[in-house]
Structure 1
Amino acid sequence: MNTLRKSILIGFTVLGMAAAHAQEAKPMAKQHDAHPTKEQMQAKMAEMYAKRQARLHDLLKLTAQQESAWASYQAAIKPAAFDGKRPEHKPFNKLSSPERLTLALEMTKKREAMLETRLKAVTTFYAQLNPAQQTLFDEHSFGGERGAMRARWQHRGHRGGWGHEGSPRHEG
């Protein structure tokens, strides 16, 4: 009788382990699905951007007078939608050194123009905020959240990696 109980107990244990293993195996299959398309990624990025902006809007608790400044600010900083057309792409290693530098300079000028537009929009909107709203804006925009997370992380005793403040290279 004892042997029968042990056999049944072992059987149930094996079945339970097999069921647990089968449940763990199902999520792994999802990880190997096809990669999302560029359009799906762009839609996801646009959705995340909209959520961040809505969260910032809610945190700021804007007055009726500030809403028009918010709308102008949003229109100025909204990322341009990708039209699907890409310029002709030459492999970077096939370009001559002057061509590489020219390309890098053109990209830098485009980035600088975008940053100047953004700076103007932020400066105009920021001037409409009261000091408490300005503090919230500073904490929750343009990397402020990441900076706050980094500060909390370091406050808990974690140190930066090589090349960061608090790392062994920057001490003493």
Structure 2
Amino acid sequence: MTFSFTRRLAAAAACAALALPVLAQTSPAAPAGASDAPAVQMHQRSDYRANRQAQRDQWQQKHAERQAQLKAKLAITPAQEGAWTSFTQAMQPRSDFARLDRQAMQKLTTPERIDRMRALRAQRDAAMDARADAIKTFYAQLQPEQQKTFDRMSEHMGERMGGNRQQHMQGRHGHGPMRQGGGQPG
């Protein structure tokens, strides 16, 4: 049976709405002798924050290295420097996206939750469209040989983003638009 994207989205939203009360349940009270529990929780939170910051720093370093490699391989000319700067600025990670607040979501009705999730998705889609437009604008500034290099390098972006691009396009079981031949997925 084939479901449309809208039906899948509605089903996912309904599941999420049903799961929110379970996720938001408070943990059981601490035993009588556990007066240091808040201190332990604070320590765990600070460890988590430090770990997240270290991950962000590492990611930013790798991102900068990849950009430097791309710039070198493209052999950006002084005349293209402005386009390169605009491109790299547009590709910076964004942290200004709104996030779902569990407590606020609990106070909403299911249709309101769905609307909130749709608004967040629209915000992210708009950011993704802006990045795509920045890539196209930059690409148009490149010479044909640079475009070929950019094409070859961007082919591998999917592999860094989560695995084999062809497997991603085929779907989990090889049933997708990139499936080649009539038999087994390639």
TM-score normalized by the length of structure 2: 0.55
The residue that corresponds to 1:163 in the other structure is: 174
Deviation at 1:132, TM superposition (A): 1.5
Mark the runs of 5 or more structure 2 residues left unpaired by the alignment.
1-46
1:1-172 → structure 2 map (5 Å cutoff): 37-80=51-94, 82=95, 87=99, 89-90=101-102, 94=106, 96-141=109-154, 144-146=155-157, 150=164, 162-164=173-175, 165=179
| 1:42 Cα deviation from its structure 2 partner | 0.9
Cα distance in 1 between the residues matched to 2:79 and 2:132:
21
Q: Aligned letter for 2:174? A: G
**Deviation at 1:146?**
4.7
8 A contact 1:162–1:168 mirrored in 2: no
Q: Note the C-alpha offset of 1:60.
A: 0.4
> What TM-score results when the alignment is normalised by the length of structure 1?
0.58
Root-mean-square deviation (CA), in Å? 3.7
Hey, what's the Cα distance between the residues in 2 that align with 1:118 and 1:78? 9
Task: Name the CA distance, whole Å, in 2 between partners of 1:38 and 1:161.
Answer: 30
Alpha-carbon distance in 2 for matches of 1:86, 1:121 = 22
- The structural deviation recorded for 1:134 is 0.9
The gaps in structure 1 that reach 5 residues or longer are 1-33
Give the C-alpha shift of residue 92 in structure 1: 10
CA contact (8 A) 2:74 2:150 kept: yes
Distance 2:82 2:183 in 1: 48
**DSSP-derived class of the 1:37 partner:** helix
**What percent of counterpart residues are identical?**
31
4+ residue segments displaced more than 4 Å: 85-88, 91-95, 146-151, 166-171
Greater C-alpha radius of gyration: 1
Say how many residue pairs are matched: 129
